[in-house]
Amino acid sequence: MVFLGGGLGAVCRYFVTTQVGARFGTVFPFGTLTVNTLGSFLMGLIMGALLFLTERTGLTAGPLKLLLTVGFLGGFTTFSSFSMETMTLLRGSSYFYAAANVALNFLCGFCAVWAGLMLARTLVR
């Protein structure tokens, strides 16, 4: 499950980052920011839905959880890319963009997880 989800997630990551980069340029790593934010939202949504369904039904979704979170989202989100892009910005003396990249990835990711959990709560309950 992890292998299948990871491969699909990696392909989706490549597609999203290249499309966002083509649309908004590559001076700032908007593609990685988009993937990290979307991945965080999906993590909140999926984990929230699984949690709330488990509370309601008592059933667990082990293989589905592995496929979607560890597999797909593990292949989709790009923390290592985020780290390298931030280092590249720092090495190029783009301190403002480096700080913005760290702050936006954290803030957008945290808010997206929260939004996903809230949506899951609304949809499942």
List, as residue ranges, the binding site.
74, 77
Q: Are 113 and 51 within 8 A, CB to CB?
A: no
CA–CA dist 10, 5 (Å, integer):
9
Annotated binding site for Na(+): 74, 77
Tokens at residue 86, please?
């931030």
* Helix, strand counts (H, E) of the chain: 6, 0
